[in-house]
Amino acid sequence: MRNDIVRIFDTTLRDGEQSPGYSMSTQEKIRLAVQIEKLGADVLEAGFPAASPDDYTAVKNISQKLHSIEVCGLARAIESDIVTTWDAIKDAQKPRIHTFIATSALHMQYKLKKTPNEILKMTEDAVKLAKSLCKRVDFSPEDAGRSDRNFLKEVVEVAISCGADVINIPDTVGYLQPEEFGDLIAYLIGHCKGGKNVIFSTHCHNDLGLGVANSLAGVQAGARQVECTVNGIGERAGNAALEEVVMAIKTRPLFYGLSTNINTKEIMRTSNLLRKITGQPVQPNKAIVGRNAFAHESGIHQHGMMAKRETYEIMKPEDIGISKSQIILGKHSGGAALRSRLSELGYEIKDEAFLDIFKKFKNLADKKKIIEDADLDALMLGEFQKNISEFTLVSVDAHCGTKQQASATVTLKTKVEGVVTQNALGTGPVDAAFKAIEKITKKLGKLTEFRMDAVTEGLDAQAVVSLTLTTNQEKRFFGRSGNTDVVVASVCAYLDAINKVTQREGIEKNSQYGRGV
Ligand code: KIV
Ligand code: ZN
């Protein structure tokens, strides 16, 4: 094991996915997992298999799909969680169990209602069981940042003696300052029996905006694995952002004297894919992947950049995979130009699917002179859900105006009942179309968010509709679609969310839409 490599443990699909607005279907998780493998992360935490049947299925599917990356499942330090997790990951080429238990007085007393001795015993049992099933085991003392040091040391020593390969130190609530976190890592490595024989890892939350700084302080103190997420997503204010940790290490080689296995040219593609799948925007000034991260507005800066790039840029945009494409796509563009641009944007399309996309592109190019990247993103929105759709739009016909009540007729192709048409009145054409859809699909939840954005400028711009459907069980499903027609965009976004509900709840097995949700 080289000591100058920092292993990247990606937890986008576990800690990231459990935060509001980031839930993904199994299909979407697989798509992102494949990209994270391509990015070169060393470990992918695919989920928390004991948390729900959906999580279990997603982890199992990902384990069977990936090749080079280690696939990890999270388990509480209890027998049933560990056994379920092993079952979900055992088909992976390189399986890994990550088991955890809280060690701070607050968590032990109020959350777990356990004594320190009980925690020590649970740690011992959990790590021994995990190790008996799986070659590679990570152990985390949750809320380590606020745990008593002596007790933390005791727990870590038990985990090491029972066979843990990696000791991950979470600052669960993002409380520590970089010096404190670095000091904690150095203390544990230096004082724990067996500490030099395992890898120490960081898991820093961003509640005070210090997730990345704390992770890097941990690395300077000797940690050789960082748990982090793409775009820094995660519980509350998120986790340390993968791209920021990786680019800090790469940009300052003399300072850190370290490297990672990440292919940084895949960073932008990975960030974009997550954004597209979840529909959650990245703040424009976000380091590395925000849209302004390499934009230069002020005259002085632009002048400096033209004279010498390094005056205002410490990294090359190409190094994170931002290409400065000079090709303008429009109605005369051919398939090769479209395919190449889509690939740069992170869409790998099979030959069978390409013809259909090319047709859609030509249709759009007839309506819009210049096709921008945002147009292509909007065009590709529907492609993610295609294979899992319970309901697909055949047609929508809406009428509105000042002299009549809005009405809509919607025809859907359904997996169970074939082609079905319904019509309805509404307060506007979108409302009428949604009511017609609900007559076919039955009402699967409440529309709790609805947003419409023009993706480019001008009257011919495409509208992208993003909405959230919240089920009676308070589960939120995100839908998104784009079209030059706002009613069509809205209808497709609604169907996107509905299809996710039906897929998640397995309603098709009951062959009765609307049951059980
Ligand atoms: O933040 C945390 O403590 C966690 C653990 C499960 C590692 O996510
Ligand atoms: Zn966490």
Is the same domain home to 127 and 264? yes
Q: In what order do the strands lie in the sheet with 463-470?
A: 446-454, 463-470, 476-483
11, 13, 14, 15, best to mutate for ligand 1 pocket (most atoms within 8 Å of CB): 15
Q: Give me ligand 1 centre to Cα 169, in Å.
A: 9
Task: Specify the ligand 1 atom closest to the Cα of 170.
Answer: 3
3-class DSSP state of 386: helix
Q: Give me ligand 1 centre to Cα 471, in Å.
A: 27
Does the Cβ of 170 fall within 6 Å of ligand 1? Answer: yes
Q: Give me ligand 2 centre to Cα 239, in Å.
A: 7
Is the same domain home to 354 and 491? no
pLDDT for position 82: 98
Give the integer Cα–Cα distance in Å for 155 and 141: 8
Looking at 278, 313, 335, the residue that finishes a domain is: 278
Task: Specify the ligand 1 atom closest to the Cα of 168.
Answer: 7
Which DSSP symbol is given to 16? I
The pLDDT tens digits of the residues spanning 54-91 come to: 899 999 999 999 999 999 999 999 999 999 999 999 99
The residue-averaged pLDDT of 220-236 equals 98
* Residues whose Cβ atom is located within 5 A of ion ligand 2: 15
Looking at 356, 380, 404, the residue that finishes a domain is: 380
Residue 257 lies in a domain: yes
Give the integer Cα–Cα distance in Å for 413 and 170: 48
Is the same domain home to 305 and 453? no
pLDDT for position 510: 37
Task: Specify the ligand 1 atom closest to the Cα of 11.
Answer: 8
Does the Cβ of 203 fall within 6 Å of ligand 1? Answer: yes
Q: Give me ligand 2 centre to Cα 349, in Å.
A: 34
pTM summary value: 0.81
Of the pLDDT bands very low, low, confident and very high (cuts 50, 70, 90), residue 507 is: very low
Residue 515 lies in a domain: no
Which DSSP symbol is given to 139? E
Task: Specify the ligand 1 atom closest to the Cα of 239.
Answer: 1
- Burial class of residue 495 (count of CB atoms within 10 Å of its CB; 0-12, 13-18, 19+): buried
Q: Which residue has the least CA distance to atom 8 on ligand 1?
A: 15
Task: Specify the ligand 1 atom closest to the Cα of 100.
Answer: 6
Residue of 495 and 369 predicted with greater confidence: 495
142, 147, 156, 233, best to mutate for ligand 1 pocket (most atoms within 8 Å of CB): 142
Residue 287 lies in a domain: no
Residue 2 lies in a domain: no
3-class DSSP state of 248: helix
Is the same domain home to 319 and 245? no
Is the same domain home to 274 and 341? no
Residue 386 lies in a domain: no
Is the same domain home to 372 and 397? no
Q: Across the chain, which distance is largest between two alpha carbons, in Å?
A: 81
What is the per-residue burial (b if ≥16 Cβ within 10 Å, else e) of 257-292? ebebebebebbbbbbbbbbbbbbbebeeebebbbee
pLDDT for position 309: 80
Of the pLDDT bands very low, low, confident and very high (cuts 50, 70, 90), residue 214 is: very high
CATH code: domain of residue 453: 3.30.160.270
Does the Cβ of 140 fall within 6 Å of ligand 1? Answer: yes
Is the same domain home to 202 and 302? no
Of the pLDDT bands very low, low, confident and very high (cuts 50, 70, 90), residue 513 is: very low
Radius of gyration of the chain (CA): 25
Is the same domain home to 164 and 300? no
The pLDDT tens digits of the residues spanning 170-209 come to: 999 999 999 999 999 999 999 999 999 999 999 999 999 9
Q: Which residue has the least CA distance to atom 2 on ligand 1?
A: 172
Q: Give me ligand 2 centre to Cα 173, in Å.
A: 8
Q: Give me ligand 2 centre to Cα 172, in Å.
A: 5
Ligand nearest to the CA of 45: 1
Residue 68 lies in a domain: yes
Residue 373 lies in a domain: yes
Task: Specify the ligand 1 atom closest to the Cα of 144.
Answer: 3
Residue 285 lies in a domain: no
pLDDT of 508 > 60? The answer is no
Is the same domain home to 189 and 264? yes
Looking at 380, 404, 420, the residue that finishes a domain is: 380
The residue-averaged pLDDT of 230-255 equals 98
The pLDDT tens digits of the residues spanning 13-46 come to: 999 998 888 988 899 999 999 999 999 999 999 9
Is the same domain home to 408 and 351? no
Q: Give me ligand 1 centre to Cα 173, in Å.
A: 9
Structural domain of 124: 7-278
Identify the CA nearest to 451 among candidates 469, 470, 433, 466.
466
The number of domains in the chain is 3
Q: Give me ligand 2 centre to Cα 128, in Å.
A: 23
Q: Give me the chain's average pLDDT, please.
A: 90
Of the pLDDT bands very low, low, confident and very high (cuts 50, 70, 90), residue 308 is: confident
CATH code: domain of residue 97: 3.20.20.70
Is the same domain home to 152 and 269? yes
Is the same domain home to 131 and 241? yes
